[in-house]
């Protein structure tokens, strides 16, 4: 295990020539990292991570693939920074950053990302954010509703303090789970029926509150 750097390795295949992929990658990464050094099969970019406030080095390599050009990225992020020591990439920040690089490269290569970005090894940034939002909502409601539900179960049904199996506790768990699923859908599918319904309800509530 490398205690100085955290290693991230991802790759994507683009339906475009090697030179076009390299030019798009340089332009996208140049928005984040100012220092770019050319190599025989790609380039190396160096800069600072805004989230962890640490230095990072990204090595980009391109090779021909059956569907176009394969772009492999190795990202080394310093574990020690002003915000502490990074043992794990909490929240998947660096993988999400690489996923956004691939998406931006695809946008530069063509009008439609689905037609240009053939495949990638990174998980969707939006899915990661949705999972995080769903877990936070679920955890908050489990704690918040669970305490009240357990008290109601003890008061109404005379359950012991260690028991959380009463109907109110079960209902609280179900509500927390459903709320977590809704939060996940809201983040992952911002234009989906669930998100539109929530925004419509919130807009109606705010409209009713106006004098």
pLDDT at residue 153, rounded to an integer: 74
Q: What tens digit of pLDDT does each residue of 190-201 get?
A: 666 766 776 676
pTM over 0.85: no
Bridge partners for 7 per DSSP: 76
In angstroms, the CA 9 to CA 26 distance is 18
Pair of tokens at residue 13: 């295949």
Q: What tens digit of pLDDT does each residue of 164-181 get?
A: 467 877 888 888 888 888
Whether residue 98 contacts residue 122, with contact meaning beta carbons closer than 8 Å, is answered with: yes
Confidence at 113, pLDDT banded by 50, 70, 90? very low
Confidence at 13, pLDDT banded by 50, 70, 90? very high
Structural domains of the chain sorted by starting position, each given as residue range(s) with its CATH number in brackets: 5-123 (3.30.530.20), 126-209 (no CATH)
Average pLDDT score over residue span 182-193: 72
């Amino acid at each position: 295990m490398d205690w100085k750097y955290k290693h991230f390795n991802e790759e994507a295949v683009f339906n475009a020539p090697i030179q076009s992929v390299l030019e798009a990658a340089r332009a996208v990464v140049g928005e984040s990292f100012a220092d770019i050094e050319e190599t025989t099969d790609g380039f190396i970019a160096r800069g600072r991570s805004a989230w962890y406030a640490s230095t990072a080095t990204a090595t980009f390599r391109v090779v021909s693939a059956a569907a176009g050009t394969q772009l492999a990225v190795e990202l080394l992020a310093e574990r020690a920074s002003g915000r502490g020591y990074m043992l794990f990439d909490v929240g998947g920040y660096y993988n999400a950053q690489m996923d956004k690089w691939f998406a931006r490269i695809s946008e530069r290569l063509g009008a439609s990302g689905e037609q240009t970005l053939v495949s990638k090894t990174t998980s969707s940034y939006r899915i990661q954010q949705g999972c995080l939002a769903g877990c936070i909502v679920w955890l908050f409601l489990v704690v918040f509703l669970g305490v009240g539900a357990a008290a109601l179960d003890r008061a109404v049904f005379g359950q012991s303090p260690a028991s959380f199996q009463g109907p109110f506790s079960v209902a609280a768990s179900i509500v927390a789970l459903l709320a977590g699923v809704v939060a996940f859908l809201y983040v992952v599918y911002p234009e989906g029926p669930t998100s539109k319904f929530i925004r419509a309800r919130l807009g109606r509530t705010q409209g009713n509150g106006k004098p």
